[in-house]
Amino acid sequence: MFIQVFFFVEMVVFIRIYFAAPLFSEMEKDYNLKIAKQLRSINGIEVFLPQEQESINNKNNYADSKTIAKYDTMELLKSKLMIAVVDGVAMDAGVAAEIGIAYQAHIPIIGLFTDVRQHGYKNQSKIEALSEIGESQFFYVNLYPVGLIKLNGIMVNNTADLLYEVKKYLGKGEF
């Protein structure tokens, strides 16, 4: 008597995400780890977080500019999706450069802009204050890299929407 046994193994396709964000303060690094952990909890996600690359990003060590540029660019180009944190007094210069590389390589980008000063955009008093010098209640972010994100992806303003868009991308391959 011959018995056939079949095993079905669920295939999990991993999508590699490059997580571009400022990584120079304890606050920034903790925030990046928090978001990366949430992303990694999604089945099928692999996250490349530059700050975890001790050989080039541990600031107690030494890596020259060409080494950092080559390494991070290589890792970005191996990714299928990029998340770019654009918060800060000014967008981090490294993040802006990585946005340009991802755009040119046709890697979809999700921009994360959580600054709360963008809220209340329908508030008439805030809008009227724009006409008075020095009274803008809104935060400015450089429009060129934001435009690159929007040409090849989407902007979101909170973590819940970020996770939603990543899952949506996993399911459809688009936004």
The model's pLDDT over 139-158, given as tens digits with 9 standing for 90+, comes to: 889 999 999 999 999 999 99
Read off the pLDDT of residues 77-100 as tens digits, 9 standing for 90 and up.
999 999 999 998 899 999 999 999
| Bridge partners, 110 (sequence order) | 83, 154
% of residues, the chain, pLDDT over 70 = 93
Q: What is the pTM of this model?
A: 0.87
CATH level 3 topology of 15-172? Rossmann fold (3.40.50)
pLDDT of 12 above 80 = no
Give residue 124's pLDDT. 93
Give the model confidence (pLDDT) of 40-62 as tens digits.
999 999 999 999 998 887 777 88
Residue in this structure with the two tokens 């999706």, named with its chain if needed: 81
CA distances from 65 to 54, 69, 94, 164 (A): 15, 6, 11, 35
Distance in angstroms (rounded) separating the CA atoms of residues 46 and 133: 46
CB-based contact 165:109 (threshold 8 Å)? no
Task: Provide the pLDDT confidence category of residue 7 given band limits of 50, 70 and 90.
Answer: low
Asked if the model's pLDDT at residue 6 lies above 60, the reply is no
| Structure token pair of residue 46 | 């692999």
pLDDT of residue 4: 59
Please tell me the predicted confidence (pLDDT) of residue 172.
82
Give me the pLDDT at residue 137, please. 87
Can you give the pLDDT at residue 38? 97
Question: For the chain, which residues make up each domain, given as ranges?
Answer: 15-172
Using left for φ > 0, alpha for ψ between -120 and 50, and beta otherwise, residue 169 falls in: alpha
